[in-house]
Amino acid sequence: MVFIQMLQLMRQLHERNYIHRDIKPDNFLFGYNNRSNQIFAVDFGLAKKYRTHEGHIPFTKKTVLTGTARYASHNAHKGYELSRRDELQAVGLMILNFVIGSLPWDEIYSSDYTQLFSTIGKMKELEEVLKICEPLPP
C-alpha cells in the first residue's frame, strides 16, 4: 500500500503540471495519529513546472545531475531535463531498494561528486533490472 500511495502522490503532482525532481525515501513521510496510514511527499525545493499553457518545457541537456544520484534515472545521469518518466524510474529504484535492501551502487563512495555521479550512472547503464531483481521471489 505504501508504494501505491507514492505512485498516487506522483500522479497528483504530475496532474498539477509539476515534477518533484528529487525522489528519495527522505522525501516521503508517514502521517501521524489518525493519518498514520497515509504517505506524504515533502521537500519541493527542486520541483519544477514541466508544462505551461504554451505546452511542455523544451528538452535541454545540462551538465549537472538534478536530484539524488542513488535514485536518479538514466536520463538524469546524462544531464537531460527531467520528466514524469524519470520520476517513475526513481520511484521504481526506491521501491527496489526497500524490497531488496540495497542497490548495486550503494557501496560507491567518492569525495569528488562529479566522479561519484558518473560512476553510479555508468553502473546503472550496465545493470539490468532483471539482474537487480534476482533476489526477489518469482
Q: Render pLDDT for 28-82 as a digit per residue (tens, 0 to 9).
A: 999 999 999 999 999 999 999 998 878 888 788 876 788 899 999 988 998 888 9
Q: Does pLDDT of 138 surpass 80? A: no
What is the C-alpha separation between 94 and 71, in angstroms, rounded? Answer: 6
109 is a domain residue: yes
Q: What is the pLDDT of residue 79?
A: 87
83 is a domain residue: yes
13 contact partners, CB below 8 Å, separation of at least 6: 19, 20, 41, 47
Strands 55-56 and 51-52: antiparallel
Q: What is the mean pLDDT of the chain?
A: 90
* Residue 114 · residue 121 · CB < 8 Å: no
29 is a domain residue: yes
Q: What is the pLDDT of residue 34?
A: 95
Q: What is the pLDDT of residue 126?
A: 82
What is the C-alpha separation between 63 and 77, in angstroms, rounded? Answer: 9
Q: How many domains does the chain have?
A: 1
92 is a domain residue: yes
Nearest CA to 27 out of 93, 91, 114, 97 is that of 91
Q: For residues 5 and 57, which has the higher predicted lDDT (pLDDT)?
A: 5
137 is a domain residue: no
Q: Is residue 86 annotated as a catalytic residue, yes or no?
A: no
89 is a domain residue: yes
What is the C-alpha separation between 13 and 72, in angstroms, rounded? Answer: 18
Residue ranges making up the domain that contains 10: 2-132
- In DSSP terms, 29 is beta-bridged to 40
Catalytic residue among 22, 26, 43, 106: 22
Q: What is the pLDDT of residue 62?
A: 77
Q: CATH number, domain at 41?
A: 1.10.510.10
